[in-house]
Structure 1
Amino acid sequence: MRSFSTTFVFAIFGQYDDLSSDGMAFFVSTSKEVLSAALPGQYLGLLNDTNNGNHSARIFAVELDTFQDAELQDISNNHVGVDVDSLVSRQAFPTGYYDDDTGVFQGLSLISRKPMQVWVDYDGTAMEITLTIAPLGVARPKKPLLQTIIDLSDVVQSTAYVGFSSATGSIVSARHFVLGWSFALDEPALALNISMLPALPSASTKLSARTLISNIAITWLALVVMLALAIGIGIWICVRQQCHKYSEVREDWEVPFGSNRFSYKDLFHATKGFSDKNLLGRGGFGSVYKGVLREPKMEVAVKRMSHNSRQGVKEFIAEVVSIGRLRHRNLTQLLGYCRRKDELLLVYDYMKNGSLNKHLHSRNGQVLCWSKRYSIIKGVASSLLYLHEDWEQVVIHRDIKASNMLLDNKMNGRLGDFGLARIYDHEATAETTHVAGTMGYLAPELARAGRPTPFSDVYAFGMFLLEVTCGRKPIFIDEHNNRVLLVEWVLEHHHNGSMLDTVDPRLGQEFNTEEVTIVLKLGLLCTYPSPNARPIMRKVMQYLDHDQSPPNLSPSYISYIMMAQLQYEGFDSHNMPCSQPIASVATVSGESSATILREGRRSV
């Protein structure tokens, strides 16, 4: 591996002073092929979700990262990192430099819109990378920002490609500039002539362009109206009808998300006029249609909510703001949105395999094997851990169920539908007291207090675990035409020592007994009636990753549940409003019978 040296001047031009997309990187790659399959967002256009961390990627990068991604173990939303075959940095440091006179560390903001200079040197003999950064015009600091040993002999063997890559986000976008670049092998890179570098655009350029376009649009609209009036009332009516067909609603809160707004006209044509032939499904929120955008050419799913939907403007805004900034491989990716009159539309990546609900409960389709089910369970659990603990704020989903789990082309589970989500700061609590969600998945404490917590999500996740394993709805009809609670049914089998008999019969005997036992016990543990006694999602992941012994359910717990048989005479899970008090049977573990019975009575 030969030594190399490079220096370049860059600038990141974001829309806002304190918010940006994912950043940019300088890279060295063995092959161009790895870049052809790269993804945007947190992967910076270098890697993807399958080869990230794979030795075969053979790529080295210096990332200038402006978005903190918990999944990639980022230290902050303003750091410099050294990466090899993975965007989990070998070494990372906050952006800045050491002043030569005082030795004091001076912090820099990557999204300040100001040019900065970077020096990267690799000593092929010592296998040492040295990285330094400073504001443009400041001489190269004597003390580097970062220095570490890395063997790049596997990354570059005979031929190498050197360059830059950047990625922008779905909600907040940024422009990335390389104003000057010098590169050399086996010797220091030539110094850049600062006076010859091109100038950056002014901060008002984008605003001015928008104003100009707006003025042109207003002028043309006035001309069209005047022409229509001159020609006659008949043509004027036709023009008005055409404009009315595609009219949209715009409000102040949408300003930060304007660049990700789709036109109603584009979505109308993409879905062939929201044709029934393109209908993917219907629910209480409205309908979902498959669409094909013309530019860029891609398949999308368009969620169309009507004005009388249970999800209104407030919930619509919640979904745009929350999922638009979330980054996790097991969450659906929001591409944009549109508003028109009483209609609310969200645009997502199209999931070829539809919802998990279809694969679990359709008797005509192919049976989903246990290994796929377990993989989906772990993926959804990982996404909930991210929402509850690893993101910058706490996100309570409030509607976890199989129909909200979408499957991509590799059958990976992705949690979607954030229309009921609530977001608040860590160490705070959600301020809503409105009971929302789906019958069968609602935690018993919501009927009393109505205030959602991460533990109410855990309860719904517990019901989801039982549903995936047993292939039955939370409330199902048995062979005697009786309505049965799934959690109660599983508990009875556990009490009788026949818990494995609850496994979806379509699986036959083709399942991992240890994994099934863990999931069923976790489902019972997560649906404990006392919310504070349910496990947090980090604990759940430890069980699923086999880092923790399978949970044990105490005899007192089983005794209580067997006494708490509830009758659901005349109950209709589809027609009962979610705001009504709900009688629930939940599972318990490790408490005295008296305490358990008191908790159960309060739940009922």
Structure 2
Amino acid sequence: MDDEFEKGTGPKRFTFAELSRATSDFAESGKLGEGGFGGVYKGLSSESNTQIAVKKFSRGSKQGKKEYVSEVKIITRLRHRNLVQLTGWCHERDNSFGRHDGLFSSRMCHHRKASKESDVYGFGVVALEITSGRRPVDTTQEPNKVRLVEWVWDLYGKGHLLEAVDKRLTNEFDERQLECLMIVGLWCCHPDFAYRPSIRQVISVLNFEAPLPSLPAKLPVPIYYAPPMNLHEFSSKSSGLTTSESSGTTNSSLLPSRSTKPLLNEEEPNV
């Protein structure tokens, strides 16, 4: 594993004992959330006396050695005010870890819950922040520009997506690459998590190995479905409800149907 990482400056290798001590033996009380490949734990660095976050990859994770090494290399190179810095790693006792200075997003810390879908959403927001040079919410802007995702999506629908690009770039950028990153960012921020891409799909599109997604011109409004109810009880209170005697279910037209229009222009890539 050591040979997979570049020599010189970069993330430091930590021992299992050091990370265990920093996180109080990975105490559940300090668990910030559960992501796609494992849990994230709050810790305290004995070296700098600062708070850290340690990502512990679960044994049942589908992330292999190749993906783990790639993640460490990529995150080490990223620099952004909304990304916590990767400062170290550990791979022993059949466990893999990544140590970050600082804590994760306030949304995740507040709800104490993470998922693959929320990870993808967070990536989308950061992608839009990097390309636009703006924060997710900026109350100093005009009313239609306060919320970053809504503003960029509106420009996308009007065919003026590049108007959202950070003016400080002074047109010194590759339009195709930047447009691709912004559209992928919007895709990741789709209000319905079921329509968000997987990280593999994101990578394929960013590498131009798969087509760009065809997103709605307007930001979709999330649809929430009511839980199942006792139809016999409901039918006695509503004269306009039609039920099936054989199955006891309502006519499907009573519920809003989800669009079956594919999100991608072409068939979803096999990644």
Aligned to 1:356: 80
1:416 aligns with 2:140: no
Q: Given the alignment, which residue of 42, 54, 74 partners 1:330?
A: 74
Aligned to 1:467: 129
Aligned to 2:15: 171
Aligned to 2:3: 42
The runs of 5 or more residues in structure 1 that have no matched partner are: 1-21, 23-40, 50-167, 174-248, 255-284, 289-300, 306-315, 333-350, 358-401, 408-413, 421-436, 565-592, 597-604
For residues 481 and 560 of structure 1, what CA distance do their matches in structure 2 show? 19
Distance apart, 1:304 and its partner CA: 1.3
Q: Given the alignment, which residue of 492, 497, 504 partners 2:166?
A: 504
* Shift in alpha-carbon separation, 1:550–1:253, aligned structure 2, 3 A: closer
Distance apart, 1:493 and its partner CA: 1.1
The runs of 5 or more residues in structure 2 that have no matched partner are: 27-41, 58-64, 88-97, 224-255, 260-271
Deviation by residue 1:107-141 (Cα, 9 ceiling, x = unmatched): xxxxxxxxxxxxxxxxxxxxxxxxxxxxxxxxxxx
For residues 175 and 85 of structure 2, what CA distance do their matches in structure 1 show? 24
TM-score (norm 1): 0.26
Q: Determine if contact 2:157/2:216 at 8 Å carries over to the other structure.
A: no
Letter in 2 for 1:462: G
Q: Determine if contact 2:152/2:164 at 8 Å carries over to the other structure.
A: yes
Q: State the number of aligned residues.
A: 185
Q: Determine if contact 2:22/2:43 at 8 Å carries over to the other structure.
A: no
* Shift in alpha-carbon separation, 1:418–1:492, aligned structure 2, 3 A: same
* Shift in alpha-carbon separation, 1:483–1:416, aligned structure 2, 3 A: farther
Letter in 2 for 1:537: I
Q: Given the alignment, which residue of 54, 57, 73 partners 1:319?
A: 54
Structure having the higher strand fraction is 1
Match runs of 1:8-23 below 5 Å: 22=1
Aligned to 1:540: 202
TM-score (norm 2): 0.53
Match runs of 1:108-127 below 5 Å: none
* Shift in alpha-carbon separation, 1:463–1:516, aligned structure 2, 3 A: same
* Shift in alpha-carbon separation, 1:488–1:252, aligned structure 2, 3 A: closer
Letter in 2 for 1:42: D
* Shift in alpha-carbon separation, 1:479–1:251, aligned structure 2, 3 A: closer
Letter in 1 for 2:84: N
Aligned to 1:404: 84
Q: Determine if contact 1:319/1:418 at 8 Å carries over to the other structure.
A: no
Q: Determine if contact 1:331/1:416 at 8 Å carries over to the other structure.
A: no
Q: Given the alignment, which residue of 48, 53, 60 partners 1:302?
A: 48
For residues 517 and 251 of structure 1, what CA distance do their matches in structure 2 show? 41
Distance apart, 1:507 and its partner CA: 0.6
For residues 144 and 219 of structure 2, what CA distance do their matches in structure 1 show? 23
1:488 aligns with 2:150: yes
1:523 aligns with 2:178: no
Point out 4+ residue stretches in structure 1 off by more than 6 angstroms: 249-252, 285-288
Aligned to 1:146: none
Distance apart, 1:532 and its partner CA: 2.5
Q: Given the alignment, which residue of 434, 438, 443 partners 2:106?
A: 438
* Aligned residues with identical type, % of pairs: 23
For residues 48 and 460 of structure 1, what CA distance do their matches in structure 2 show? 30
Distance apart, 1:454 and its partner CA: 1.0
Distance apart, 1:501 and its partner CA: 0.3
Deviation by residue 1:185-219 (Cα, 9 ceiling, x = unmatched): xxxxxxxxxxxxxxxxxxxxxxxxxxxxxxxxxxx
Distance apart, 1:251 and its partner CA: 10
Structure having the higher helix fraction is 2
Question: Of the two, which has the highest radius of gyration?
Answer: 1
Distance apart, 1:303 and its partner CA: 5.4
Which protein has greater RCO, CA pairs closer than 8 Å, 6+ apart?
2
Distance apart, 1:477 and its partner CA: 2.8
Letter in 2 for 1:171: T
